[in-house]
Structure 1
Amino acid sequence: MFFNIFKSSIKGFLLNLPTPINLNYWYGFGSMLGLIYSIQIISGLILSWFYFIDLSGGFKSLILIMQDVWGGWFIRFIHSSGVSLFMFIMYLHILRGLIYGSFCKVDVWYSGILLLFICMGSAFLGYVLPWGSMSYWGMTVVTNMLSAIPMVGVYLVETIWGGSSAGVSTLVRFFSFHYLLSLFIMVFILIHLILLHECGSSNPLGVYYSCEKFTFHPLFSLKDTLVFVLVVFLYWFCIFVCPYLLLDAINFEEINFMMTPSHIKPEWYFLFIYCILRSTPSKLGGVILMVMAILMLVFLGIGKNLGSVLMVKTLYWKLMLSSFLLVFIILTIMGGYTVEYPYDILGNVNSVLYFFIYVIMLLYSFMFNFVY
């Protein structure tokens, strides 16, 4: 009886879901994220069986996993490559929402932004766990930025570190929060899906009539199956062809507490935020702009109506979105370079352009909402 109830619930929640008939492959990114997240949970659980923290941190456990555990290198590369795939596809997922006006579905859009923040937090915590030289000093620099928060900043940093400086106790905290936060993501994914089913999915034409919908299975489930094949190929390519491509060479060095690396940088999916952060002379201003770089997506969902559906079809919106994407890519590239001429100038200019184009897009959106 329980199995029949579970089967009928899954059938109603997924297979018989009313879906717009004109969805293209851009709408497969959500399913790809779900698959990669499942793989991350399984691979992360296996890694946690062999990961340990001693007085020197977790660097030695990573070496043992790579060299002594049967298949450990394979699981480790699945997990490390999966983060980059997950964040890359999530950025494409957001881009698709900006192209087709998914921010008109305000509840779904806001839950997605919250999910983005949680996933970025979990990715940052996981980045620290190898306890290599780049992980340690990158974590120290980022967490130390929180000390700029008035009144509570210093106490907040010492609470995160577990003392007056970052050490093994910090790693224990980060491992615990990484594990818990990764599980909390599952809850927010479920909330995101429930809101998506309640509000309905957007579509390329912006048509929201029930008569223009079709059941998810078998047409769209077949499309998602083809998308899953692409995910498997991407994993194969990242693991067996270029497993070290996105891993920083300095992070393979054990921590030297007496010497910082000459150039500290985060993973590639945080480089655009890092470039904005270091382009700001004020520590507090850098923290605020770093948060606002993502949080400004919230304002796109304010007071949306029919005008927003028409707006995303206009040439001006497409030009602004293309410019914003170009600036995003430039910031990501500049964030990987050292702070020297001409990279610092390009980083400063594009940081200004990033927020300027954002504001123009918001004003253009508010104008359409007012007119329509």
Structure 2
Amino acid sequence: MKAMTRLSLSVGFAASTLLSSSVWAVEAPIQPKVMLITMFAPEAQNWIDRLELKQEVRVPGLSAEYPNIRCNTQQVCLMVTGMGQTNAAASTLALALSPKFDLRKSYFLIAGIAGISPKHGTIGTTAWAHYLVEFGTQWELDSRDAPKDWPTGYLGINTKGPNEKPPLDYKTEVFELNPKLQAKAFALSHKVELSESKESAVWRLKYPSAPANQPPVVTQCDTLAGNTWFSGTRLSERAEVWTKLLTNNEGVYCTTQQEDNSTYEALLRASREGLVDVRRLAVVRAGSDFDRPAPGQSEVDNLLKYADQGGFVPALENLYRTGNPLVQEILQHWSAWEKGVPEA
């Protein structure tokens, strides 16, 4: 009996020791100082190569195409969400809920390509956003069935006409980013020299006025999200009106993309639970093609032949050139940024 007791005690002690070792072996969560958010592989590659994001961390719930977060030793990490609203929301929330990461003090930078308005930029222009506006949350009639005095078939949900601001019942129609962070990001990057290709430098000369026909620069204006990739003068003009309506005439539409309101909403929900701080989100978009043709050019070709504009590679390069000064500022002066965006 005593032998059995000693055996039981020995087994129990061994099991307890093994359990304790397993508990202590659990790695502490990664605490990124900066989390980069891109939507597909080409947007991610410059960051991966130049910041040496070599560590791969699999996070359940990310896109099957992009299942890993990549990090470096300086506490910069990168997520590729997958393209479109559904992928952006699902991947972002999966990351925010993952016990593998502690994101409470992390800064987030969305860096992606976009269509660009010739009224506020050119191919290769990078724009820091203040407002994120959702374009898809509208009523729509086929434009051929709309009243003749309507420029398109779009109008706000539960409104009587295209120039009436809708009730914001979905709560995701428009978001305002932290203006202090946007101002810091712009101040750090506005003198950066941006790139353009031979093709984009020629293409921009089709436009009769600045800034469309000038070399790209860093600017500040707002971005419009929607899964439908629209193109053309009338729809782009609707984007301008819609942005003004939803921001009480404060916003200025200049870039069009698919994901940013969805990404923001996922971060906002996580922020309410204390998992992230959504005030630490910045958004920069780079124009890879014009949202409308130059006067006298084909509306159809502007969409179907968008790649001929030559803006894809310069836009990817310019995202890195514009966003990296903010990343490096945060890393080099973490003591000033750790508690929030510095005043000075």
Task: Give 1 or 2 for the bigger CA radius of gyration.
Answer: 2
Fold-level similarity (TM above 0.5): no
TM norm structure 2:
0.22
More strand by share: 2
When the two structures are superposed, what TM-score results if normalisation uses the length of structure 1?
Answer: 0.21
Give the helix-richer structure, 1 or 2.
1
